[in-house]
Amino acid sequence: MKSVRHFGCSVIGPGNLKRHNPCQDAWAYRSWKNSDGKITSAIAIADGMGSKPHAHVGAKAAVSVALQAARRWGGNTYLNSSWLTRWIEAEWRHAIGDRNPRECCTTCLLAVHTPRKGIIMGGLGDGLALFSENTKMRLSLSGRRENDFGNQSLALGAPHRVSDWQFEEILNLPGQWMVTLTTDGVSDDIQPSKMHEFTAWLESLKILKQPESSLRRSLRNWPTKGHTDDKTIATLFKNSNHG
């Protein structure tokens, strides 16, 4: 059995269903064997700006490029978060082809694990990155700044600074841990006082044979009244009894 496992899904929100738009969230998972024989595992999520005509294209490009960056990061000892930021910024523009970047705006969050380097997590724009150890939340990163208002967001394709990217590296991992990424369709509805309950719910999904089925059902039946946004949750995790 793999020592590091994952689950995740994206669901289209009522707003895009009503307008007959595609889901503008995206997520992906990959794992690779490095030259030293160790395995890099990564998840990436993205939330395309709903006001942009090619937001779904931008989101899919972002998760693809982020996972390419994860593979390079995991296989090289000298690459750091600054390299991740610059590489993703440049390659995303290639990935969207000849489309105008301003029509493809999207957030991008990434989490990567490799036994040699630990975990790096974070990214650009709204959403949430959480790290918990032994079922207790230890670290959270939010892409929303205090002076943001309305639907304003940092994003690929929109004006921002390289310093707006946030990454945290976590070394000396415990035997049991979980890293979770969510788009703002989820994170905006989680009150700080409910973060422990949210983490506990995700922990309960880990033991299911098909956690994505339960996750998808929960996201489609989201309890917040009047919610409209697409929703994505993706996790990487290791249980202490998995080697």
d(CA 57, CA 61): 6
Question: Beta strands 118-124 and 128-133: pairing type?
Answer: unpaired
Predicted confidence at residue 21, as pLDDT, reads: 94
Q: Are 59 and 46 in contact (CB under 8 A)?
A: yes
Tokens of 29: 């998972």
Evaluate if residue 176 carries a pLDDT over 80. yes
Domain ranges of the chain: 5-238
Q: Could you tell me if 31 and 39 are in contact, meaning their C-beta atoms sit under 8 angstroms apart?
A: yes
pTM: 0.93
Quote the percentage of the chain above a pLDDT of 90.
Answer: 75
pLDDT > 70: percent of the chain: 94
User: Concatenated DSSP letters for 114-136?
Assistant: ETTTEEEEEEESSSEEEEEETTE
The top-level CATH class assigned to 5-238 is: alpha beta
Over residues 16-37, the mean pLDDT reads 94
Question: For position 149, what pLDDT does the model report?
Answer: 41
How would residue 241 be classed by pLDDT, with cut points 50, 70 and 90? low
Dump pLDDT digits (tens) for 42-64.
999 999 998 899 999 999 999 99
